[in-house]
Structure 1
Amino acid sequence: MGRNLQSGRQLRPVDLAREHGLSTQAIRNYEADGILPAAERSPHGYRGYTPLHATALRAFLALVPGHGHSTATSIMRAVGRDTIGEALRLIDESHAQLLDDRRTLQAVTAALRDLEPVPQERGELFVGPLSGKLGIRPATLRKWERAGLLRPERDPRTGYRVYSAADVRDAKLTHQLRRGGYLLEQIAPLIDQVRSAGGVAPLEATLDDWHSRLSARGRALLSGAAALDAYLGERAPESKRSNSRR
């Protein structure tokens, strides 16, 4: 594989696939999806890849851990269209989302640091105002209720759900943890712990894990940026040659 890349020989799909443990069909799919540049075809219709394709594949696979498959695909497609500004905008959005998630983690940590029992008093929020306050749909609150994360009472006259101060607290915490990537079944025991106001010690492992995952994502964004920069640097001379032939 390394000899082929250095000598500039054409590469088969299997040559690209083998380095990453992929199937040759995956390589063809990546080309069809615009992740890899279009390969030249032999007179018999066989694809001929180049070291540039190998660098593009490395860039895409390096982008996926930090950006996710969909955004990484969009970045590579933008590069393929020579709309580098669009690719950089997508990268900026991922960094902005990571920063927002870090702030969310800080908010959760701060909210739990001095957690105290909340009186189970009657609240004044109904489904609509609470969902609006959190920026979510009313159906989401009802889903959380079915999962046991919220326990609103019912207004005896109207039958509407009424959210107490404790319910609002639990809804805010659930919302924050969902944004952190946690599933409802993972959040449920945390909410139970919060309700009992037994302290934040049992929650420290979750917060530490969340922090570690954000750090790993930050490192992945850096690795993806380095791999994409290498691809752009290798691609630039090729783009100039292509433009000069037009």
Structure 2
Amino acid sequence: MSGSRRVPLRTVDVARESGYSVQQVRDLERLGVIPPAERSSNGYRSYTSVHVHALRAYRGLAGAVGPVVARQMFAELRTQTMAAAASAISAVHVRLARERDDALRAQQALRAIQDESHSPEFEQESDAMTITQLAAALDVRSSTLRFWEQEGLVIPERVTSLRARRYGLSAIRAARIVAALRGTGYGIPAVRDIMGSLRQLEGQGETQRILQQRLDEIAMRTVALLTAGADLAAVVTSVQEPPIAR
């Protein structure tokens, strides 16, 4: 790549190679997604293949984490070491994997709730969690669980005179589903309605549809990130490359 990156490209060339319009290329340069283009003596922009890689990589990263976060990441990538930049990209893969695991656990919780109507199960003491343990398992703050409790979404058991919270199996399952619904973008009133209908057959079916939709969306974001892999690698390695001699 080190040889090809020195070949000057016009704005129209970069647009054609990256799949963006000429105006979008200029806009993304202004937003800091790609490094500023060099200017020739007559004022025309002069790009390199690094800009093409950056634009392609941005498309995939924006598909994975959203355009606002992607723009922030790209601005930071250019000031980081290669190790730090690679770590930032790896963290996105980890985040997507965590979101997928959370959605799968919510599906498992929903299946358990569905099975309860046929085979009620006794909750053992060892199956309970404290608020700190449950918050860590869901990657949320303890204050978030308290807020969900206030809203009637997840109701714990209370023990000891200090009113310490204890979450049994049913509360843990509800919390996993609430976390997945919130991650999908549902507001508190909508989540309350969904959780209130879970004991009804139609409510279970709708919740299952929402959770599967969540998994499909995470899969699409993961594919977008994988598709951008080679271009992201080019961006990361370019962080360490010396400036072009002129």
Offset at 1:239?
A: 3.6
Alignment of 1:109-148 (within 5 A): 109-115=107-113, 116=116, 129-130=130-131, 133-135=134-136, 136-137=140-141, 139-145=143-149, 147-148=151-152
Q: Is residue 20 of structure 2 the alignment partner of residue 19 of structure 1?
A: yes
**Which residue of structure 2 aligns with residue 48 of structure 1?**
45
Deviations 1:101-132 (A, max 9, x none): 2221221111121312689xxxxxxxxx5366
What fraction of aligned residue pairs are identical, expressed as a percent?
24
Of structures 1 and 2, the larger Rg is shown by 1
Contact 2:8 2:47 in 1 (8 A): yes
**Which residue of structure 2 aligns with residue 191 of structure 1?**
195
Offset at 1:196?
A: 4.6
Distance in 2 (alpha carbons) for counterparts of 1:230 and 1:106: 33
Alignment of 1:1-246 (within 5 A): 8-11=8-11, 19-20=20-21, 22=23, 26-30=27-31, 33=32, 35-42=33-40, 46=43, 48-52=45-49, 53-69=51-67, 71-73=69-71, 75-77=73-75, 79-81=77-79, 83-115=81-113, 116=116, 129-130=130-131, 133-135=134-136, 136-137=140-141, 139-145=143-149, 147-150=151-154, 169-196=173-200, 200-229=204-233, 239=241, 242=244, 245=245
How many correspondences in the alignment?
223
Long gaps (5+) in structure 1: 1-6, 120-128
Contact 2:109 2:173 in 1 (8 A): no
Long gaps (5+) in structure 2: 1-6, 122-129
Deviations 1:127-152 (A, max 9, x none): xx536632444543454356452467
Distance in 1 (alpha carbons) for counterparts of 2:29 and 2:243: 25
Deviations 1:68-105 (A, max 9, x none): 33553355345534722222111111111122222212
Over 3 Å counting, the alpha-carbon distance change for 1:205 and 1:18 in structure 2 is closer
**CA RMSD of the aligned region, Å?**
4.5
Distance in 1 (alpha carbons) for counterparts of 2:80 and 2:41: 28
Contact 2:135 2:145 in 1 (8 A): no
**Which residue of structure 2 aligns with residue 124 of structure 1?**
none
Contact 1:62 1:227 in 2 (8 A): no
Length-normalised TM-score, structure 1 = 0.65
**Which residue of structure 2 aligns with residue 3 of structure 1?**
none
Distance in 1 (alpha carbons) for counterparts of 2:243 and 2:182: 48
The more displaced of 110-119 and 89-98 is 110-119
